[in-house]
Structure 1
Amino acid sequence: MTLSALLVSALLFIVGAPSSVADPSPDPDLAQSVAAHEEWRGEASEISAGHVDLGPRLIDGQWRAGLRHDAESGAVWRDPNQTVLRVSDAAIMTAPDSADYPFLADVAGKPVHVIPQTQNPSVVWLGWNTQDPAVTATIDRGLTMRVGPVSGPGRAWLFLQSGTFGKPLLLADSGAAPGDVWIDSGTHVHANWAFSAPGTYTATVTFLGTTTAGEAVNASTTLRFAVGDAASASEALAMAAPAASGSGSGSGSGALAAGTSQGPGSSESTSSSPEGGLPDWAFIAIIVSVALSFLVIGALVVARSRRSRAEQAAAIAEADSLLAPLPTARGEGNGEAATASSQSAGAPGAGESAEGHGLGNGGGEQ
């Protein structure tokens, strides 16, 4: 396994793999810019058509979640808690009866109200953006959009689709637990919002993040939907925000759970991330730490190998010294050599010569 593969495996082990991977391509229909001076309005209103984005904004030093409405007079921001999003009967579609839409199995072939991912001029077009200049200038990497709980007479879904024939990517289901959706700064996204039954719905949405200075950001609001021509806008405005326990009425009670990132073809700039995401410096620090760990381990292995070879060489040298003959003095060596020569020359002739020499000496003395 290569070092790069080891690093990637270790990184995924440390931070966990994202629940879904998306690498969306830019959509020219979503190209827009948001100006810092755009007006904020807090009066009660109803929006039944046109382009609307939910997003965070810094107003008078406070972070707020607002609805950016492309009105005829120009873009204005409205308080979502005072705004009713009308999903008229012009939004009715037949839910697909397809294995590609398992989350819609309970309503397959039945009419549902849909805010489409691709704009329908007769229906409100709801998306979200993180393009306010204060967001792009001060937020560290991006924010988490927490959607939930939601209450209403039916069930609600939020999903993305890549192209005309692409398979859907489910982002939210009111039958699941609360969850988060990661959104990069400077992002503009639209998705499909589907409702199984007409009536009034409310959903809590919170944006969470951190500034580059380390300050926590928290902006929360309530989305209010009047689904169907007969749904009452005043009733939607009067509804209390959904309880945190998701104890609202109907099968739609609960939270729009996400845990996935935006899907292909859904935004100008999106990326997957683990829940809440990690800032770039954290990813860099993790990669550097893993690389250093491999370097340290490699150095220890090399040092241990060299030490073992040195110890082995020392042991061999010591064994050789024990097996070598002991040194002797010069005289002792000559004597031993003479004795050895004498013994080796112990033939009868030699002995007789020595004996004869002794008799001759004895005779002379006499």
Structure 2
Amino acid sequence: MRSTSRSLLVVGAIAAAVVVSAMPAQAQVATASRVVLAAGHVDVVDVEYEDGALEIGVHDETVEPGVEREPDDVLFKVKREAQTTVPADPAFGFLGAAGVPVWILPEAQNESLLWPGLSTEELEAGVFSGDTVTLTLVRVVGPGQLAVFTEDAVGQPNVLVDSGDGTPDAIGLSVGDHLHANWAFDQPGTYTVKVKATARLVASGQRISSETVNLRFAVKP
């Protein structure tokens, strides 16, 4: 379990190198300015509410114990092993034409790949209207499109985000929850995904918003 008294960990190059030395090279490496996460569980969006403000961090569980990182300190690596092809099922047409390449970080854990989650586990019930916060994908900057989707028991997709049909896109997240989904990129290259969280306070009716943060993904061809 994570401590409820966490604060965002500002990771410089020296601190990152110390953390990385305890991890397998394939799971995490350090660059001059960012920690590169390539395999294992990480909440790419971890929403918290502290001192009257919503915050978005990255909860990194590729290390033990897990740590909270600033989004700007992290690069998420989508390895070559994530490459697959778009299914022939027309329901997956939002990913592109059947048979073309697509790079997917899967909803179900694959130990060779990054397993990205969305977390509101630190948010308490009764604080926000409807006990929900809204995660908005503001914009995707990169060589291609991003789709985030889940699959039902029979393998049919439920699309949460599709930058291919325009942004912003919004995802409603229940407080105290944790969500995994498929993150699909249709071209290799580097992507910047801009996201923010919003909610309405029960006590005052005030609508509050986090700062917009940048999630960076590097998709390997």
Common fold by TM > 0.5: yes
- Secondary structure in structure 1 of the residue aligned to 2:58: strand
Equivalent residue for 1:58, pick from 17, 37, 49: 49
Is the aligned partner of 1:114 residue 2:104?
Answer: yes
Across the aligned residues of Structure 1 and Structure 2, the Cα RMSD in angstroms comes to 1.9
Q: Deviations over 1:160-200 (max 9, x none)?
A: 1013x321111211122312111111121111111111100
- CA–CA distance in 2 between the matches of 1:137 and 1:47? 34
Contact 2:39 2:113 survives alignment (8 Å): yes
Is the aligned partner of 1:181 residue 2:140?
Answer: no
Q: Deviations over 1:321-354 (max 9, x none)?
A: xxxxxxxxxxxxxxxxxxxxxxxxxxxxxxxxxx
Contact 1:130 1:136 survives alignment (8 Å): no
Q: Deviations over 1:62-120 (max 9, x none)?
A: 431011111332121111122111111121112212123121243x2122211100011
- CA–CA distance in 2 between the matches of 1:197 and 1:176? 16
Between structures 1 and 2, the one with greater helix share: 1
- Secondary structure in structure 2 of the residue aligned to 1:102: helix
Q: Percent identity?
A: 31
Residues 273-288 of structure 1 aligned to structure 2 (within 5 Å): none
Give the letter for the 2:159 counterpart. Answer: L
Cα 1:212–1:34 change in 2 (3 A) is farther
Is the aligned partner of 1:92 residue 2:83?
Answer: yes
Is the aligned partner of 1:139 residue 2:131?
Answer: no
- Secondary structure in structure 2 of the residue aligned to 1:40: coil
Cα 1:216–1:168 change in 2 (3 A) is same
Partner of 1:202: 192
- CA–CA distance in 1 between the matches of 2:115 and 2:146? 16
Structure number, greater radius of gyration: 1
- Secondary structure in structure 1 of the residue aligned to 2:4: coil
- CA–CA distance in 2 between the matches of 1:100 and 1:61? 42
Question: TM-score, normalised to structure 1's length?
Answer: 0.50
Partner of 1:172: 161
Aligned length: 194
1:58, CA displacement in angstroms? 3.1
Q: What stretches of structure 1 of length at least 5 have no aligned partner? A: 1-32, 230-366
Residues 265-304 of structure 1 aligned to structure 2 (within 5 Å): none
1:212, CA displacement in angstroms? 2.5
Give the letter for the 2:169 counterpart. Answer: G
Contact 1:97 1:105 survives alignment (8 Å): no
- CA–CA distance in 1 between the matches of 2:219 and 2:42? 16
- CA–CA distance in 1 between the matches of 2:160 and 2:54? 25
Give the letter for the 2:10 counterpart. Answer: G
Give the letter for the 1:203 counterpart. Answer: V
Give the letter for the 1:74 counterpart. Answer: P
Between structures 1 and 2, the one with greater strand share: 2
